[in-house]
Amino acid sequence: MIPKRILGNSGLEVSALGLGCMGLSFGYGPAANKHEAIALIRTAFDAGVTFFDTAECYGPFTNEELLGEALAPFREQVVIATKFGFQDGDSKKGLDSSPSRMRAVAEASMKRLKTDYIDLFYQHRVDPNIPIEEVAGTIQDLIKEGKVKHWGLSEAGVETIRKAHTVQPVAALQSEYSLFFRETEKEIIPTLEELGIGFVPFSPLGKGFLTGAIDETTKFDTTDFRNIVPRFSEENRKANQALVDLLRSIAIDKDATPAQIALAWLLAQKPWIVPIPGTTKLHRLHENIGTATISLSAGDVQQIDTAASKISIQGARYPEALQNRVGK
């Protein structure tokens, strides 16, 4: 079984690895078959995963409905995280964290998730038009009403995190973090440590790149988000292969896979870090969960860091329009 971790000082206990559910409905090509997706979510639960991540904009809306149906038989035994922050729940539209929108999302999300409370309610992206103190105040009201248990921020900058935490303690920050993207180590992780906030890295496998299943010849579905990501251009995929080669060489020594080493490295960083790898494939789910049996020593981590520091990752992680929404 997967060990448990607590997100910062919040007391919110989750499995050390969660399941990011976005890709089942959105972002990485066509949606998965519904019955297969439900089976995958329930298999994850049976294997010890108790932390499931979704958002109203994944679909939009269909991912929450899928999760609601899949988790209904054991709702009380799992932690469900969902998110607000986009106009009409559509990530292609502008941001909207107005109190009325937040309340509307909470009600609609609960209905789709077949629940009367949300364990962890994230602001999906910081809304420059709504003071974060106002957002935190609305969350506080939702917590008092019993509709929300904990709250979090996604891709927020240090200043926003501090301001938000002063009004209503933040349980977790969800942002990108992996051996493929380490910007968060500079300011974000030290701030989270200081404030006692948990960290939930999304794309812990570099949007699939660190599994070793992607190279410069890989063709993505036309609806796959990676087609517009600079880091996934053909020449950048070729250049960045050195990182996968490094993981592969360490994996051989540990009788593991590159993905498992990448996840084990994240788990070794801090005891309050909980990655949420996503997948649509059962064999990948089992592979990710298998990480729980792999432990890296301080020496192993040092070896990975030393080798990784010599590799310069090529390409931005977002196209410019999306980059403008992060780190606020």
pLDDT digits (tens, 9 = 90+) for 261-281: 999 999 999 999 999 999 999
pLDDT higher than threshold 90 for residue 90: yes
Chain-centre distance of CA 86, in angstroms?
17
- Whether the link from the prior residue into 60 is cis, omega within 30° of 0, is yes
Position 159 in a domain: yes
Give the separation between CA 210 and CA 299, rounded to whole angstroms: 21
Q: What is the pLDDT of residue 321?
A: 86
The pLDDT assigned to 1 comes to 84
The one-letter amino acid code at 285 reads L
Distance, CA of 10 to CA of 173 (rounded, Å): 12
- The candidate with the shortest Cα–Cα distance to 156, out of 169, 133, 171, 174, is 174
- Strands 19-20 and 13-15 come out as unpaired
> What pLDDT sits at residue 58?
97
CA distance 222 to 200: 29
Q: Is the dihedral of CA 57, 322, 278, 187 positive or negative?
A: negative
Cross-strand partners of 148: 118
Task: Give the span between the Cα atoms of 166 and 172, in whole angstroms.
Answer: 14
Among candidate residues 58, 117, 177, 318, the one labeled active-site is 58
What is the arithmetic mean of pLDDT over 194-206?
A: 98
In this structure, what CATH number is given to the domain that contains residue 254? Answer: 3.20.20.100
- State how far the Cα of 171 lies from the Cα of 265, in Å rounded to an integer: 22
Q: Do residues 99 and 138 lie in contact, with contact meaning Cβ atoms separated by under 8 Å?
A: yes
Report yes or no on 257 lying in a domain. yes
Mean pLDDT of 228-237: 96
Total domains in the fold of the chain: 1
pLDDT tens string 149-167 = 999 999 999 999 999 999 9
Reported pTM? 0.98
Q: Is residue 198 part of a domain?
A: yes
Using DSSP, state whether 31 is helix, strand or coil: coil
Query: Does residue 176 belong to any structural domain of this protein?
Result: yes
Query: Both tokens of residue 182?
Result: 């380490």
* Overall residue count recorded for the chain in this entry: 328
Q: Does residue 328 lie within any of the structural domains?
A: no
Q: Which two tokens stand for residue 220?
A: 């993505």
Q: Can you tell me the mean pLDDT for 199-218?
A: 97
Positive or negative: CA dihedral 10, 12, 13, 17: negative
Please say if 28 is a catalytic residue. no
Q: Which domain holds residue 20?
A: 4-323
pLDDT tens-digit readout, 130-153: 999 999 999 999 999 999 999 999
Strand-strand pairing, 148-154 and 4-6: unpaired
Residue 69 located in a structural domain: yes
